[in-house]
């Protein structure tokens, strides 16, 4: 009953004219900047922040939050169409989304993206509504040994991510881990692999790696294809009829599982302070591939490979509001900015925020739903228009894309060094592509590596060097057992054969 | 053709091994620490060992089939120049000259012919979009054209 | 083709030249001023800077453009400012990190905060709160210190090696002689979560976010880092009362490159002072626990030197060298 009266209060706030208008402005801006390669919600929110001063704090927050989750929708568009991740978390979507475009199914990929994003967000909002304080307490209880175990699990799952040579995939994961080391060491303050560049002390930017390895490498390859009289694999899409966009009935049935699993993973990961949508998307993808009956189809345009990470990254974005709103602990940088925005408007979130400011909390929650409906309505009709991007002739498209890549990498820290770094990764990416190395695991290694190292070292500092600390808590033990199981899985068949043979003897 | 590919694979495996050994060296250099306070060199060292072993593994691994498109050295070189030129010019001469350089060099990388008018249109279009979107709206610290360049052009101080 | 390009460039050049104006000296400021913020957008330093810049530009009649140049604990942005022309058109938001701590943490810092900087105006400062989790067995600062001297000692969270929150913990260790083990975190928020859950024993944290959780019974505040106490939590005693010599604050100070002309510095300084006294800035300072500046313009050089000395001493004893 209390929930109902709260919801009513929230609706009253969120359905006011101003709230609706600014929610719409927020999600529209969000989708747009999300689609720009490299430009993410962070720079947009910090620019928009001073513009919200005159507004009612709730309305201001509704708009700023709209930019954040709207960007998750937009970010996948260029990932799917051009193999160019618009935001870091949508790099995973490119793994299967771009092959779908190559197979002439760009419309369907965008459709799945929109629907999976919508489902992921909406379901996660339900969780936030019902269980925000409970989830916050659960997330708070996660200590460094458990963080380490989660990251290890993600990493082991990652090794199974690409098809082809396992050795090559492992080298790529390790390469990603090395890239994650670059920068000042958190524990000792010593710079590692910065080669004297001050601009590298805070690490290599994920945007540079993703746009270089995928975007630039892809363009250089394409340029060579056009020289050889164009590629036969490249369909000339000029028109996508509406029904081509819709999944077939059996395809639709296949999508529910990935969406629900993605949402689950996204909600849990999103609520943990310090992780974020990128980790969520990768974990969901790896998990989907593990449970799939046709794992070999991943990477060649599997629908599940688009649906799961999209549901996960959108769910995690909504869940990320849980620790921020219910404890005043922002899980990532964007959340920290939103927290800053609240403080600027004179509101300080903390454990009493929900009871002290019910109109604001519930208004915000209801606005998430409204915003997601708006995003769905906004995105579906745009699909027909968006797929036309790939019909733009290469001679115009490529300069435009390279231009956005350059500015996008620059905008991360307003530093030209990042543009050069992107270029270096473009060259590396092209080399890897030619030598049959799949670059996707690099990203996961890069994201998980620093968190894994950080939490390993932290656990051991706190336990004064006692390794058994990892076996002290049930969650950690459970996660480590799953890791062990994953590692032993490939040995199962030969082991069974051995046992059978031993039995015969 | 196939031979050449095999050679490049083998060479790259050696690059991987060298990279692994470099990591081992840097790891030791950075200090490994002790169990209660693991040093900054611990992870690099571990990764170095792993990468070296994997590299040796790849050296002996049977290779799969390859792309049979010859490497696009020209495209790669010109795209490198395009991005490099943009990075070098954008803070020194301003956004517009950097954009022009980027578009012209990228166009050269492409084998499709492009008409000068289309090229000019692309440059102007991107300059306008770049200015409105990135400078005016998103407030990136670019100057459209650097004042130094203007004074150099007009010959005044 | 090239010809057309040149023409376009020339037209554009003339067009922008009219913005820029001639180099002839007129009343300062005659064009937009750039304020470099050496941290990324959305950080507390960024928020303070944008607010001050907005009010200042109303007073000066010229826009102040805020540029974020993050990296290496603020060293990247600060080294850019000290290289700029000292004409008053490039200024920066300096912090306790960029103008004091970094000097003893980075051995190859590309600027000297004492020699390469013209201080313009003090902005404000905030002390930090020493907090423990609600379930912690330590009820008072004395308990905490006693605990640190028993058995394995205790742990404290920080926002990274060589940051003010790390050095504050090290200073407490030096003054009390206890065994306090440093556990760095990526952000203050994540560290605070670890203190709440009891994984780490204590932390020095920004007073505002800590205070809310103290009120909700998730944390307990045992002391304030500044000798003058905190405006947000006046009931919490300064650590200095028990351990003399413990007086650490985080502060903000607007500065330019060395050798700025006095009239420009004075004009800017007056504009900052006016901004700090403006209603919206006062309001923001009050909610975020910042106390407005109380160091006069001619005392700023001495203030910076004293801070460099003080933090250098702590870093020395903590051996928090970050090469």
Domain boundary among C241, C271, C300: C241
Identify the pLDDT of residue A243.
Answer: 63
What residues are paired with A192 via a beta bridge?
Answer: A183
Whether C81 and C144 map to the same domain: the answer is no
Domain boundary among C217, C241, C265: C241
Identify the pLDDT of residue A490.
Answer: 67
Whether C256 and C119 map to the same domain: the answer is yes
Q: Report the alpha-carbon distance of residue A51 to residue A47 in Å, rounded.
A: 8
Nearest Cα neighbor of A309 from A443, A405, A422 is: A443
Retrieve residue C238's tokens: 């300064």
Q: Report the alpha-carbon distance of residue C259 to residue C293 in Å, rounded.
A: 23
C residues 17-76 near A, CB within 8 Å? 40-44, 46-47, 50-51, 54, 67-73, 75-76
Residue C298 lies in a domain: yes
Residue C192 lies in a domain: yes
Three-class DSSP labels, A443-487: HHHHHHHHHHHHHHHHHHHHCCCCHHHHHCCHHHHHHHHHHHHHH
Which chains touch C (3+ CB pairs under 8 A)? A, B
A residues 31-60 near B, CB within 8 Å? 33, 36, 39, 43-44, 47
Identify the pLDDT of residue C2.
Answer: 44
Which chains touch B (3+ CB pairs under 8 A)? A, C
Per-residue pLDDT at C97 exceeds 60: yes
Whether C218 and C282 map to the same domain: the answer is no
Residue C26 lies in a domain: no
Identify the pLDDT of residue A370.
Answer: 92
More confident: B22 or A447? B22
Residue A63 vs residues A128, A305, A347: alpha-carbon distances, Å: 19, 31, 16
A249 touching B (Cβ < 8 Å) = no
Identify the pLDDT of residue A436.
Answer: 83
Q: Percent of chain A, pLDDT > 70?
A: 93
**Segment B40-52, tens digit of pLDDT:** 889 999 999 999 9
Number of domains in chain C: 2
Residue A422 vs residues B73, B139, C8: alpha-carbon distances, Å: 18, 22, 30
Q: With left for phi above 0 and alpha for psi between -120 and 50, is residue A84 left, alpha or beta?
A: beta
Q: Which of A396, A404, A418, A451 is best to mutate for the B interface (most B CBs within 10 A)? A: A396
CB–CB of B59/B90 below 8 Å?
no
Q: Percent of chain C, pLDDT > 70?
A: 90
Q: Report the alpha-carbon distance of residue C48 to residue C43 in Å, rounded.
A: 9
Which residues of chain B are within 8 Å of residue A426 when distances are taken between CB atoms? 79-80, 83
Peptide bond into A422 cis (omega under 30): no
Per-residue pLDDT at C11 exceeds 50: no
A451 touching B (Cβ < 8 Å) = no
Residue C119 lies in a domain: yes
CB–CB of C111/C256 below 8 Å?
no
Identify the pLDDT of residue B3.
Answer: 47
Which residues of chain B are within 8 Å of residue A225 when distances are taken between CB atoms? 69
Quote the minimal CA–CA distance from C193 to chain B in Å: 22
What residues are paired with C257 via a beta bridge?
Answer: C117
Residue C154: CATH number of its domain? 3.40.190.10
**Segment A281-329, tens digit of pLDDT:** 888 888 888 888 888 888 888 899 999 999 998 999 888 888 888 777 7
Q: Do B154 and C17 touch (CB under 8 A)?
A: yes
Identify the pLDDT of residue A233.
Answer: 39
Number of domains in chain A: 1
Residue A408 lies in a domain: yes
**Segment A366-393, tens digit of pLDDT:** 999 899 999 999 888 888 888 887 778 8
Q: Which domain holds residue C158?
A: 129-241
Identify the pLDDT of residue A259.
Answer: 93
Nearest Cα neighbor of A133 from A474, A371, A361, A335 is: A361
Whether C255 and C117 map to the same domain: the answer is yes
Q: Do C161 and A42 touch (CB under 8 A)?
A: no
Quote the minimal CA–CA distance from A463 to chain B in Å: 7
Those residues whose C-beta lies under 8 Å from the C-beta of residue C19, and which sit 6 or more positions away, are none
What residues are paired with C118 via a beta bridge?
Answer: C256
Residue C40: CATH number of its domain? 3.40.190.150
Which residues of chain A are within 8 Å of residue B82 when distances are taken between CB atoms? 402
Q: Report the alpha-carbon distance of residue B136 to residue B133 in Å, rounded.
A: 6
Residue C21 lies in a domain: no
CB–CB of A93/A35 below 8 Å?
no
Residue A194 lies in a domain: yes
| Pairing state between β C154-158 and C202-205 | parallel
Residue A206 lies in a domain: yes
ipTM of predicted complex: 0.90
Whether C134 and C237 map to the same domain: the answer is yes
Domain boundary among C223, C241, C259: C241
Give the pLDDT band of residue C19 (cuts 50, 70, 90).
very low
- The region of weakest confidence among A4-18, A360-374, A491-505 is A491-505
Identify the pLDDT of residue B63.
Answer: 67
Per-residue pLDDT at B18 exceeds 90: yes
Identify the pLDDT of residue A420.
Answer: 94
| A240 phi/psi in degrees, rounded to 5 | -115, 110
């Amino acid at each position: 009953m209390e929930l109902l009266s709260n919801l009513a209060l929230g609706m009253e706030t969120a359905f006011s004219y101003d709230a609706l208008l600014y929610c719409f402005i927020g999600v529209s801006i969000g989708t747009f900047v999300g689609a720009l390669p490299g430009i993410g919600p962070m720079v947009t929110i910090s620019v928009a922040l001073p513009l919200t001063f005159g507004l009612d704090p709730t309305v201001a927050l509704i708009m700023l939050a709209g930019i954040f989750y709207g960007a998750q929708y937009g970010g996948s568009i260029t990932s799917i169409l051009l193999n160019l991740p618009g935001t870091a978390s949508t790099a995973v979507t490119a793994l299967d989304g771009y092959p779908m475009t190559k197979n002439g199914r760009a419309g369907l990929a965008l459709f799945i993206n929109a629907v999976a994003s919508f489902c992921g967000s909406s379901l996660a909002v339900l969780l936030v509504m019902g269980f925000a304080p409970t989830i916050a307490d659960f997330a708070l209880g996660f200590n460094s040994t458990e963080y380490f175990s989660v990251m290890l699990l993600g990493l082991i799952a990652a090794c199974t991510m690409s098809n082809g040579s396992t050795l090559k995939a492992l080298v790529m994961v390790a390469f990603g881990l090395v890239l994650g080391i670059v920068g000042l060491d958190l524990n000792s303050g010593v710079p590692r692999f910065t080669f004297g560049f001050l601009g590298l002390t805070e690490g290599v930017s994920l945007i540079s790696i993703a746009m270089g390895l995928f975007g630039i490498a892809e363009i250089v390859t394409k340029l060579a294809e056009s020289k050889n009289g164009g590629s036969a694999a490249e369909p000339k899409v000029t028109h996508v009829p509406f029904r081509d966009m819709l999944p077939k009935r059996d395809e639709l049935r296949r999508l529910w599982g990935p969406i629900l699993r993605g949402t689950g993973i996204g909600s849990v990961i999103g609520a943990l302070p310090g992780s974020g949508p990128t980790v969520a998307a990768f974990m969901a993808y790896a998990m989907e591939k593990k449970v799939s009956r046709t794992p070999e189809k991943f990477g060649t345009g599997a629908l599940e490979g688009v649906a799961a990470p999209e549901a996960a990254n959108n769910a995690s974005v909504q869940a990320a509001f849980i620790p921020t709103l219910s404890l005043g602990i922002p899980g990532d940088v964007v959340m920290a900015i939103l927290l800053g925005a609240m403080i600027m408007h004179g509101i300080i979130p903390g454990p009493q925020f929900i009871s002290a400011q019910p109109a604001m909390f519930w208004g915000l929650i209801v606005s998430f739903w409204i915003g997601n409906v708006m995003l769905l309505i906004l995105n579906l009709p745009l699909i027909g228009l968006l797929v036309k991007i790939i019909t733009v002739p290469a001679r115009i498209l490529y300069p435009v894309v390279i231009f956005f890549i350059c500015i996008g990498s620059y905008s991360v820290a307003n530093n030209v060094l990042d543009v050069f770094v992107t270029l270096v990764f473009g060259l590396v990416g092209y080399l890897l592509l030619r030598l049959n190395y799949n670059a996707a695991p690099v990203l996961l290694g890069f994201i998980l590596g620093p968190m894994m190292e950080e939490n390993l070292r932290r656990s051991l500092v706190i336990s004064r060097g006692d390794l058994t600390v990892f076996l002290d808590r049930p969650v950690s033990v459970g996660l480590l057992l799953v890791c062990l199981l994953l590692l032993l899985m490939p040995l199962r068949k030969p082991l069974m054969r051995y046992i059978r043979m031993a039995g015969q003897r | 053709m196939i031979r050449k590919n095999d050679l490049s694979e083998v060479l790259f495996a050696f690059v991987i091994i060298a990279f692994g050994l470099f990591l081992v060296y840097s790891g030791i250099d950075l200090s490994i620490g002790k169990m209660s306070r693991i040093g900054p060199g611990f992870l690099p060292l571990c990764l170095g060992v792993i990468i070296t072993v994997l590299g040796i593994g790849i050296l002996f691994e049977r290779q799969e089939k390859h792309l049979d498109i010859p490497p696009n050295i020209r495209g790669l070189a010109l795209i490198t120049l395009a991005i490099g030129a943009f990075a070098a010019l954008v803070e020194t001469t301003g956004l517009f000259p950097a954009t022009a350089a980027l578009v012209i060099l990228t166009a050269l990388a492409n084998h499709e012919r492009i008409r000068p008018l289309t090229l000019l249109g692309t440059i102007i279009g991107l300059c306008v979009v770049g200015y409105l979107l990135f400078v005016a709206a998103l407030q990136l610290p670019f100057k459209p054209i650097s004042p130094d360049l203007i004074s150099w052009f007009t010959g005044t101080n | 083709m090239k010809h057309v390009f040149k023409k376009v460039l020339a037209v554009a050049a003339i067009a922008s030249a009219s913005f820029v104006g001639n180099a002839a000296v007129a009343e300062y400021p005659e064009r937009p001023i750039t304020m470099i913020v050496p941290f990324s957008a959305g950080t507390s330093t960024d928020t303070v800077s944008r607010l001050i810049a907005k009010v200042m530009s109303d007073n000066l009649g010229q826009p102040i453009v805020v540029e974020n140049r993050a990296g290496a604990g603020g060293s990247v942005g600060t080294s850019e400012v000290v290289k700029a022309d000292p004409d008053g058109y490039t200024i920066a938001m300096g912090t306790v990190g960029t103008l004091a701590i970094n000097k003893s943490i980075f051995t190859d810092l590309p600027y000297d905060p004492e020699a390469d900087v013209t201080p313009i105006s003090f902005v404000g400062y905030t002390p930090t709160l020493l907090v423990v989790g609600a379930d912690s067995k330590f009820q008072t600062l004395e308990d905490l210190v006693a605990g640190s001297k028993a058995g394995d000692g205790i742990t404290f969270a920080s926002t990274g090696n060589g940051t003010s929150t790390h050095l504050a913990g090290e200073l407490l260790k030096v003054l009390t002689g206890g065994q306090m083990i440093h556990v760095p975190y990526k952000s203050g928020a994540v560290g605070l979560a670890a203190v709440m859950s009891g994984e780490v024993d204590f932390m020095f944290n920004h007073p505002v976010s800590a205070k809310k959780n103290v009120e909700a019974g998730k944390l307990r505040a045992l002391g304030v880092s500044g000798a003058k106490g905190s405006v947000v939590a006046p009931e919490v005693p300064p650590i200095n009362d028990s351990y003399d010599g413990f007086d650490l604050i985080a502060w903000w100070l607007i500065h330019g490159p060395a050798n700025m002309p006095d009239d420009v510095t004075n004009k800017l300084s007056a504009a900052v002072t006016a901004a700090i006294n403006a209603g919206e800035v006062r309001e923001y300072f009050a909610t975020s626990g910042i106390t407005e500046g109380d160091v006069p313009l001619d005392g700023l050089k001495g203030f910076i030197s004293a801070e460099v000395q003080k933090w250098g001493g702590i870093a020395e004893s903590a051996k928090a060298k970050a090469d």
